[in-house]
Copies of this chain bind each other. A is one copy, B any other.
Amino acid sequence: MDQTTIRFGIIGCASIAGKVSRAITLAPNAALHAVGSRSLEKAIKFAADNGFPPHAKIYGSYEAVLDDPDVDAVYIPIPTSMHVQWAVLAAEKKKHVLLEKPVALNAAEFDKIIEACEANGVQLMDGTQWIHFPRTAEMGKFLSDDQSFGKLKSVNTLITYDVGPEFLKNDIRSKPDLDGLGALGDGGWYGASASLWATNYELPQKVVALHEPVLNEAGVILSCGASLHWKDGRIATFYCSFLSNFTLDMTAIGTQGTLRVHDFVVPCKEDEASFSSSSGWFVKPSVHTISTDLPQEAFMVKEFSRLVQEIKFNGAKPDNKWPIMSRKTQVILDAVKTSIETGFLPIQIQN
């Protein structure tokens, strides 16, 4: 750890926090510095289980992490309903913010987080990992190849996993007061982010939810889908579910080529991932395999830490590309939710 290493504090001990803690230890420019939970006991156990160094600070509150002057950045994996409160406070304490997705319960809430980060000059990035993975850049090269892919016409994503009865009963993602967007906020976030990624983050003009979403008794979405419509006939469709076998597929079709990937959200293997491409009639897809030295979440931490280093040591401004991407993704989720609530009306998107 050198002088430029970014020191992370983690608030909350969700299971995803274990994965990102490991990523912080793996990223060459980041280090674990502190963890805080409302239960000190939980924080102690979390630190012991997740490779925190002996000198790490372990706190019995979130505030204490934000008040630690040696913390450069906080990773916030707590339930979505608590994001606005804690992300805004983190920004006010001049901590850079790596915020788990979905970033907020709606875009208006997220705007408060953006404002706080802008006012305090701190970097904001959401926890969408796949965007940072080298495979994604390779897929992007294929999509921008006029010869072999042509113009994008459609994107289809299927993001499903069978979460099991324990999750359906007790996980925060099945509680309306915690992660009230349910499968839409979880898998649907990736459907929306993939659709935006493939269209270079151009917002669609119209979003329509598919009929017959499945809700639990408390009204939380367990499965749903939507279609997104851009001008000149481009379309994206996604389907997300907590009730089906593990499937993380994206298929993007252009005028000249087709991209297929079966584990786009999280690769089946950490150090190797593939996608396929095909162009033309009756062409068997070609498989492209990319090897990496870090898991995708470490690429995310590395990029976030690089931006924080630029701000801290080189006087750079926060890169607002990332909060803009997050906000557009959230806008799509909001529209899907509104469409469901209004009986599947098409929702016009303000550009």
- Interface residue ranges, A against B (CB under 8 Å): 149-150, 153-154, 156, 158, 160-162, 206, 208, 210-212, 214, 223, 225, 227, 229, 233, 235, 237, 239, 241, 243-247, 249, 251, 253-258, 260, 262-263, 266, 268-269, 278-285, 344, 346
Contacts and interface: CB of A to CB of B under 8 A. Distances in A.
Interface of A is mostly: strand
Given A225-B237, A260-B262, A244 B210 contact: no
Contacts of A211: 206, 208, 227, 229, 346
A255 B243 contact: yes
Contacts of A208: 210-211, 344
Contacts of A153: 160, 223, 241, 243-244
A156 B158 contact: yes
B210 A206 contact: no
A129 to B, nearest CB: 14
Nearest to A241: B153
Contact of A162 (B229, B256, B282): B256
Nearest to A212: B229
Contacts of A253: 158, 160, 241, 244-245, 247
A285 B263 CA distance: 10
Contacts of A262: 260, 285
Nearest to A276: B262
A183 to B, nearest CB: 12
Contacts of A258: 245-247
A212 B206 CA distance: 10
A210 B204 CA distance: 15
Nearest to A249: B251
A193 to B, nearest CB: 19
A255 B162 contact: yes
Contacts of A227: 210-211, 225
A243 B233 contact: yes
B255 A154 contact: no
11 contacts: A154-B241, A158-B251, A162-B256, A206-B211, A210-B235, A244-B253, A244-B254, A245-B254, A245-B278, A246-B280, A269-B284
